[in-house]
Structure 1
Amino acid sequence: MMKGPIYSRIVKEGGAAVPAVGARQLSDQGEYPLGLLCCGRRSGTRGALAFAHAGNLVLTTSVLLPDLLQAYVLELGIVVHSVVIRLSMGASDNVCTIRPLVAALCFHQFFEGIGLGGCILQADYEKKMKAIMVFFFSVTTPFGIALGICLSNVYRENSPTALVVVGILNAVSAGLLNYMALVDLLASDFMAEKLQNDMKLQTISYVAVVLGAGGMSVMAIWA
């Protein structure tokens, strides 16, 4: 039995567009699921569903709302984080600080992009929405740097106002990213059947997580 709210796309039946609705609504209308035709990462919670109604077969592609919200929340956390950090970088006039910071941010941005890209693909957005999310991820870094350069004459990194505002924004983005990493991303991956049944793969995965966290902590020295 499927759990959670469902987001469904419009599908085609006999050349005509048919609005696809969630499993609960289908049950209320006397339509019964014939079974999952294909499953996503969370077995039994997403995939293509076949429903029989009045002798017709309707194919509904359903995606859990948590998958959609996951990508939105991760994007929000990354965008806020990127603008705040790059603002400080753009306002800085210390060349010795900027050079290692650029290298660290490029490395950091690369892996953020991989994580966000995986969430976007899993959520199975339309091409337009994918393009919009990729666009915002791509422009936040140069936007933050440009904003920092424009405000370099008035922005004082150590002023009480700047410290409070930046601290609040950093706390919000850190909370979002930590929640996404621990609850939605790592928990889902490590609870997968493939990983649970393979001790070698579990060991490699745990080592990779520790090395990744350690690497990001080391980069924080320059950030």
Structure 2
Amino acid sequence: MVHILPAAFEALRSPCLVGGPWKRFPFAGLVAMLAAVATLIVDTVATGYFHRTNAKRAAAVTDEPAHDDPESAPDGHHGHAHGMSMLASPDNGDELVRHRVISQVLELGVVVHSLIIGMSLGASDFPSTVRPLVPALTFHQLFEGIGLGGCIVQAKFRLKSVVAMGLLFSLTTPAGIGVGIAISSVYDESSPTALVVQGLLEAAAAGILVYMALVDILAEDFSKPRVQSRARLQLALNVSLLLGAGLMSLLAVWA
């Protein structure tokens, strides 16, 4: 909200954009809104699909004890325990699927943003611009990596998927820097095409990240019974949230 979305508005309202509809309508806000709504649709559709799939599997398995020999489950204890285990598994499966959807969509938004800032850094020709950007972007990527890593851990992916997602996040910014260096001789950051592409991508990344942060991460974590029942934990989480938001906002001074 502090340094992604304003950058999108700045790019799409640049004086270098002569003609066209860019100055007559807030396209950055529109794209951010559409990206957030699209993320909501993908989030709910994917979660609903896997929820229905897990529910059907659980229903099919819980019907199996009815065909077993009654003598194999005296007093009905075995059948009851089996049914309870199957009823508990859909909830665990739904929660796992939820975390996986969240981590994948969050990685998409982070990767888009990381690619943009990497290209901007690589295409910069002035050392006075690059020097303050490097430490600021280092801390920026550190904070994003911590948040994304926490989501990936909760999703309990297989080792190959964890390594792939970690490498994708780690290599996106360096790859963007490499692309920026390669095109620095012909790239003009004030050209209309560059401004439009950068502005639209920044706005889309902002919409995705704002939705993911507020709806899928903060709202879900803060509404858990464990948090709601402990006042000290609530206070610690709110203080941590404000501190993190302040630190990320402070990076906008340099980034």
With the length of structure 1 as denominator, give the TM-score of the two structures.
0.77
- Separation in 1, partners of 2:98, 2:254: 35
RMSD (Å), alpha carbons: 2.4
CA separation in 1, counterparts of 2:223 and 2:132? 37
Q: Please identify which structure carries the higher helix content.
A: 2
Give the gaps of 5 or more residues in structure 2: 1-46, 65-81
What number of residue pairs does the alignment pair up? 190
Of residues 84, 93, 106, the one that matches 1:34 is 84
| Bigger share in strand | 1
User: Does the alignment pair 1:193 with 2:225?
Assistant: yes
Counterparts of residues 39-188 of structure 1 (less than 5 Å) = 45-46=91-92, 64-188=96-220
User: Which amino acid in 1 is paired with 2:206?
Assistant: A
The one-letter code sitting in structure 2 at the alignment partner of 1:128 is K
Which deviations, in whole Å up to 9, do the C-alpha atoms of 1:192-214 show, x marking residues without a partner? 12211222221221122122112
Amino acid corresponding to residue 158 of structure 2 in structure 1: E
Cα shift at 1:120: 1.0
Cα distance in 2 for partners of 1:46, 1:6 equals: 12
Identical columns (%): 49
Map Cα deviations across residues 69-128 of structure 1 (whole Å, 9 max, x no partner).
Answer: 111101111110000011111000111221111101111111111111111111111111
Residues 206 and 118 of structure 1: CA distance in aligned 2, closer, same or farther (over 3 Å): same
Q: Per the alignment, in what secondary structure is the counterpart of residue 84 of structure 2?
A: strand
Structure exhibiting the larger radius of gyration computed from Cα positions: 2
Q: Secondary structure of 1:22's match?
A: helix
Could you list the runs of 5+ residues in structure 1 that have no partner in the other structure? 8-20, 48-61
User: Alpha-carbon deviation of 1:38?
Assistant: 8.0
Q: Is this contact kept in 2: 1:46–1:64, CA < 8 A? A: yes
**Structure 1 residues 33 and 24, CA gap change in structure 2 (3 angstroms):** farther
* Structure 2 CA distance for partners of 1:132 and 1:72, relative to 1, 3 Å: same
Q: Secondary structure at the match of 1:152?
A: coil
What per-residue deviation string (whole Å, max 9, x for no partner) do you get for residues 17-40 of structure 1? Answer: xxxx7232331462474237989x
